Chains A and B, each alone.
Chain A
Amino acid sequence: MKPPPFRYAAPSSVAEAVDLLVRHAAVEPRVLAGGQSLVPLMNFRLAQPGHLIDLRRVADLDGIRVHGDYLVIGAMARQSAVEDAPEVALTAPLLAEAIGLVADRTVRNSGTIGGSLAHADPTAELPAVALALDAELVATGPGGIRGIPAAEFFRGPFSTALAADEILTEIRLPRREGGHAFIEFARTHGTFAIVAVAAQIELDGGRISRAALALTGVAPTAVRATAAERALVGATPDTAAIAAAADAAVSGLTPAGDVHASATTRTELARTYVRRALDLALSRAQDRR
């Protein structure tokens, strides 16, 4: 399974990379970050970009830093670096928990935060985290820099709001209070999650004051369970409320079944995992107070 031929460049700046995207637009150029998703597709010949623009030499694209109330991560930050960074564990524990579930350590050594988000695999963990934390995805194109809210970023399977000549350069994750949980159901270690749930819940005076819930595996992209969130805000976090939220989260979903799980199984798994994620996030929210 060898890839088809392509031209290759490794520019040393974002501007240069954008320029290459523009100049080679006619031959289906693709940005190469970690390659953990793109190169397998090329080996299968399901992706046949005419030009690869490798970001490995672009300086200062892999930083991980806290900036006020935000965790700011460069798009080329390796997933294993994010996994190991104390700033991430402190400022965005939801991300820290999720990143350890992405494939396995070896893949995370090469895979990048930006690459995973821009690839927008519907089964991937990071888009769910971005949605749950209301992240801002910063893109650079020939027209300049713009921030795209996560809620507007994921358009469909493997499809994002990035224009063909834009590169994702940075992710900004707001710091959240309360308790987090990222759990997923995968059949074997390291293989794609069937269903994953990202939860970030805040408590105030014994009631839920803020709830963010994102699911994968149940729709063409990762999705926020907004009906469930509305049901949770203001509620006392008891078993009935959690069960009601889980029901609300799956109501109306029409997941696609596949060889690993039927639509029915996915819906049941989502319901169960929303419940379990809420239990975990809430117990952590209690602990944090």
Chain B
Amino acid sequence: MTDKHRITLTVNGREHSAEVAPRTLLVDFLRDDLGLKGAHIGCEHGVCGTCTVLLDDRSVRSCIMFAVQADGGQVRTVEGLADGARLHPLQDEFWDKQALQCGYCTPAMLMRAIEILEHNPDPTPAQVREGIASNLCRCTGYQFITEAVCAAAARMRADTGTTAGAQA
């Protein structure tokens, strides 16, 4: 009934090529076709942000985007953050500051935080808080997330050029 389209995209540095139905949402493509379960589904109408991934260095809502719209793009997801056993500083600070409780919004928050810090490596807490207002969290009330992002930003500024993070 509907034709499939071939798409090619890079996800966390690795190229993938697949035939997808046009209506396949990007979040379902990532989760079901590529087995990357970190992007979560919370609302499927673009409000809560738990599906957030980076596409060509910009955060996007993968639940209101079709996989075909990411053809030729570079996607980054939470699965690409840690370097083997070594966590990314953001992940490590989320752990240290208890910036997660149920963990459902966490991958999205991490990817959004990556974008925030790539735009501005030295944000104030107020700027971080406004930045993460794009993503809902129902557990933490955002306070420890804000602390974690600020702490990670400081570490990332200090560690520029080196990889850092605890083993987990």
Q: Which residues of chain A have a CB within 8 Å of any CB of chain B? A: 1-8, 10, 32, 35-36, 39-40, 42-44, 52, 54, 56, 78, 80, 104-107, 109-110, 189-191
The digit string for B55-67, where 1 denotes a CB below 8 A from any CB of A, is 0001111011110
Which residues in chain B, 112-168, are within 8 Å of chain A measured between CB atoms? 112, 115, 131, 133-135
Give complex CA distance A8, B2 in Å. 9
| CB of B82 closer than 8 Å to a CB of A | no
What would 19 A/B residue contacts be, using CB atoms closer than 8 Å? A2-B44, A5-B23, A7-B2, A8-B2, A8-B68, A35-B64, A35-B69, A39-B46, A40-B44, A43-B64, A44-B45, A52-B22, A54-B69, A78-B58, A104-B133, A105-B131, A106-B61, A109-B60, A190-B47
A190/B2 in contact, CB under 8 A: no
A3/B23 in contact, CB under 8 A: yes
* Chain A residues in 8 Å Cβ range of B71: 10
- Count CB-based A-B contacts (< 8 Å): 87
* Chain B residues in 8 Å Cβ range of A110: 58, 60-61, 65
* Chain B residues in 8 Å Cβ range of A42: 23
* Chain A residues in 8 Å Cβ range of B68: 8, 10, 54
Interface residues of B, CB < 8 Å — how many? 32
B112/A106 in contact, CB under 8 A: yes
| CB of B5 closer than 8 Å to a CB of A | yes
A106/B64 in contact, CB under 8 A: no
Give complex CA distance A54, B1 in Å. 19
* Chain B residues in 8 Å Cβ range of A32: 69
Give complex CA distance A4, B1 in Å. 12
* Chain A residues in 8 Å Cβ range of B115: 105
* Chain B residues in 8 Å Cβ range of A5: 1-2, 21-23
What's the nearest-Cβ distance from chain A to residue B108, in Å? 9
A40/B23 in contact, CB under 8 A: no
B22/A106 in contact, CB under 8 A: no
B2/A6 in contact, CB under 8 A: yes
Q: Which listed residue, B1, B21, B44, B61, touches A107 by the CB 8 Å rule?
A: B61
Q: Which listed residue, A4, A106, A190, A191, touches B60 by the CB 8 Å rule?
A: A106
